[in-house]
Amino acid sequence: MKLLLNFVCFLVGITLFNAQKTYTVSGTVQDFHDKTFLKDARVTIGEKSTITDAQGRFTIRGISEGKHNLAAMHPACEPFSEVIEVSENLHITLSLEHHIHDIETVALHRRQTSAGLTTVKTLDHSTIARNSTENLGNILQRISGVSTLKTGNSISKPVIHGLYGSRISIINNGVRMAEQEWGVEHAPSIETTNFERINVIKGSGTLKYSGDAAGGVVVLEPKIFPARDSIMGEVLISGISNGRGAKVGADLAKIWQNRWFVHGAGTYQKLGDLYIPHHTLQNTGTEEHSMNFSFGNRNFVQGFEASYSGISQNFGIFRGSHLGGPEDFYNAVAKGNSVAYYDDFRYKITNPKQEVSHHIAKLEAYKRFYGFGKLSFHYSFQLNNRKEYDLRRGELNDLPSMDLRLITHQAKLEHLIEREKWQLESGISGALQDNYPNPATQARRLIPDYYRYDAGLFSVFQYRFSKKLNAEFGARYDFNRYDAYKYYDENEWERRFENLFSNFVIKRSGSRVLTRPVLDFHNISANAGIKYRPGQNWDLSVNVSRASRTPNAAELFADGLHHSAAIIERGDLSIRKEEVYHFSLSAKGRIPVLKGLEVEINPYLMTSDNFINQVPTGIQNSNRGIFMIWDYLQTKARIYGVDADLELNFTDNFKWNSQVSALRGDDLKNDEPLILMMPLNFKNSLEFSLGKPSKLYFTLENETFLKQNHFPVRNVNLDLIESGQLVTRTLDTSTPPAGYSVFNAAAGMDVFRNFNVNFRINNLLNTEYRDYLNRLRFFAPELGRSLILTLKYNF
């Protein structure tokens, strides 16, 4: 009996000993992507829990041996749960992801506007929706320092700090647009309503996108869908009085909780002949339709997306800009007496006109690796086809005078690593372009056949010294090669290029010389910036950059009549790469006046010893009419200016916005001003608004542009018949038009929770004026009053 009692006590002792054996689980909780410690995260093991301290540390004692459910939660992060096995003391590191929708929205916006410490301006979705009938060039004018270079009243392209064309990169849903952007009248093929935000990055700090964007970068950001099972979309209908037209659009997306999505959208817009005060402009109608489709799965850790977008545009060119004889040309330019004010409204678009289509297909994938960072891969295919029709005789009238097909392949691999105090983003890229001018036009090719090969690599490093001081350093290298086939007139070849490029000659045939120019360019670009926050309400930044740009196809090869621009363009094979040095300051602050005064001032300076400038050099009378000659020349240049933005909130419902932009451009080599520089201008608006539920607003806007008094004098001599006698007249093609002031008004509200109405009047007082940056200002003034009503239904 005693032996049995001792044995029972022994077994109970062993059981009690084993029951009392426990372990400690400790560790840290950190953010997945930048490794910062997360304070106030709740960590739970079984029924025991604790809160992390300021260093993200936690300790839980008394955990028995075996399998346990481990959970971690933080207010700004997705919950974490995992089964762990405890057989000893453990020290673990937990990495939490931010709420996926929030972090993807913020991260994409921050990544795509990651211009370092430079000036970034954003047009949000509400601004885009209020101006849904405007093209990209016109809507960007709402940003200080941005103007538009126009060809008539339908075609416009953005100008940032006096620079345009190849000096501005447009990023469409992560793809750099590859069009015939060299043309002064080649507007970007963009449907603005497809995007959630439009960001303009001015000046330096654009190395992630390209090394040649001395003017800046326009970044178009798509919508980001929340993680829920739903169908969402919108329908938009607009009526436009000027042109008696309309625009309709629809957007539809099916989304799932697991982050899968399918999205499609389409628009159609039709306008007839446009009105100027007192007249109708013949053949100025437009027709445009677009569509896009995408599907994929995007979460914070990994994702992929496949997408397609396409747009087709048909622009009529004012018939009064294509004149047959020198007398008509002289009367139109010198006296302002156009011969084409027929005041016969039509929807039909005839020659001269442009037909443009642009297609983009994109594949994208990314993945975040713990401790390594984010790896992204992008591939895109673009097809751009541009047809320009001139006034031609007989059967030739149905053939385009210029038919260009441009195919572009782009690929890039990027790596991003983030830590608490620093960030490093690097990448490599490559591209291939194939340009084919269709010889079936039976017209001289303005741009030749060519292949262009691009390869580049970049790295941008950002470091946070303290909460008040940040710095950035970046560098980029790009290699570009043109491999072209081009015919020259023998006399012109011998006069301009024989001594420099005799090795390019393939054969001579009569008075023509066939050449194969192979041109290589090596470009090194860099930038550095510092941002300092002296107080809670002020930010100061300084940026210095060097942008190196390969000449575009027109600057090298253009040779002939550019029909839709109504000019003769001539390039130069000897043009070298363009290098622009850019220095900018930015001061942004909030002053406690009334309900708050926000001020931002951005002075800048750009210099270049090899600036590529297109200037008028003469006039040519051909069997197709009278046209000015514009040559691409390389010179020493300087551009400097300042942008100032002010927003004063008088009350919670009433505010005043004001912008001032001034710049000056000088050709230092020829001691004359640069051509087509934006004049001093002021933009002001008063807005009264109410909050929910109606979101009612009223806005009155004014745009005032002073006359440009700093311009080059490049007048031309013209021979014409007067009273039966041949005389020579000097034609003033240099003097800018008078300044002007235009008022606009807008109002809108949410009639129901999902139904919105916007009404806008452009050129409220029907003011007649001409814009210095409109290449057809000699032939017609700007548009008259236009009433636009837009209805939008969200679901």
Q: pLDDT band for position 118 (50/70/90)?
A: low
pLDDT, residue 32, reads 72
CA distance 753 to 196: 20
In the chain, ranges of CATH 2.60.40.10 domains: 21-98
Report, as an integer, the average pLDDT of 461-466.
93
Contacts 24+ apart (CB under 8 A), 40-49: 40/74, 40/75, 41/72, 41/73, 41/74, 41/77, 41/94, 41/96, 42/72, 42/73, 42/74, 43/70, 43/71, 43/72, 43/94, 44/69, 44/70, 44/71, 44/72, 44/73, 45/69, 45/70, 45/71, 45/84
Q: pLDDT band for position 271 (50/70/90)?
A: very high
Q: Which CATH architecture has domain 101-217?
A: Beta Complex (2.170)
pLDDT, residue 433, reads 98
Residue 109: pLDDT over 50: no
Residue 113: pLDDT over 50: no
CA distance 343 to 464: 63
Q: Report the DSSP pairing between strands 90-96 and 22-31.
A: parallel
Residue 206: pLDDT over 90: no
CB burial string 115-131: b at 16+ within 10 A, e below: bbbbbbbebeeeebbbb
In the chain, ranges of CATH 2.170.130.10 domains: 101-217
Residue 644: pLDDT over 70: yes
pLDDT, residue 98, reads 56
pLDDT, residue 183, reads 66
Torsion angle of C-alpha atoms 319, 322, 327, 330, degrees rounded to 10: 90
Q: pLDDT band for position 34 (50/70/90)?
A: low
Q: Which CATH architecture has domain 21-98?
A: Sandwich (2.60)
pLDDT, residue 18, reads 46
Report, as an integer, the average pLDDT of 743-755.
93
Torsion angle of C-alpha atoms 161, 166, 172, 174, degrees rounded to 10: -100
Which residue would you say has higher pLDDT here, 191 or 80?
191
pLDDT, residue 54, reads 79
Lowest mean pLDDT among 183-192, 203-212, 230-239, 724-733: 203-212
- pTM to 2 decimal places: 0.86
* pLDDT tens string 580-633: 999 999 999 999 999 999 999 999 999 999 999 999 888 887 766 678 889 999
Considering the chain, what percentage of its residues have pLDDT values greater than 90? 65
In the chain, ranges of CATH 2.40.170.20 domains: 218-794
Residue 643: pLDDT over 60: yes
Q: pLDDT band for position 154 (50/70/90)?
A: confident
Residue 741: pLDDT over 90: yes
Lowest mean pLDDT among 149-163, 401-415, 539-553: 149-163
Per CATH, is 218-794 categorized as 2.40.170.20? yes
pLDDT, residue 623, reads 67
**Of the spans 196-200, 269-273, 627-631, which averages the highest pLDDT?**
269-273
Residue 11: pLDDT over 70: no
Report, as an integer, the average pLDDT of 109-117.
45
Structure tokens at 312: 């087709």
* pLDDT tens string 767-789: 999 999 998 888 889 999 999 99
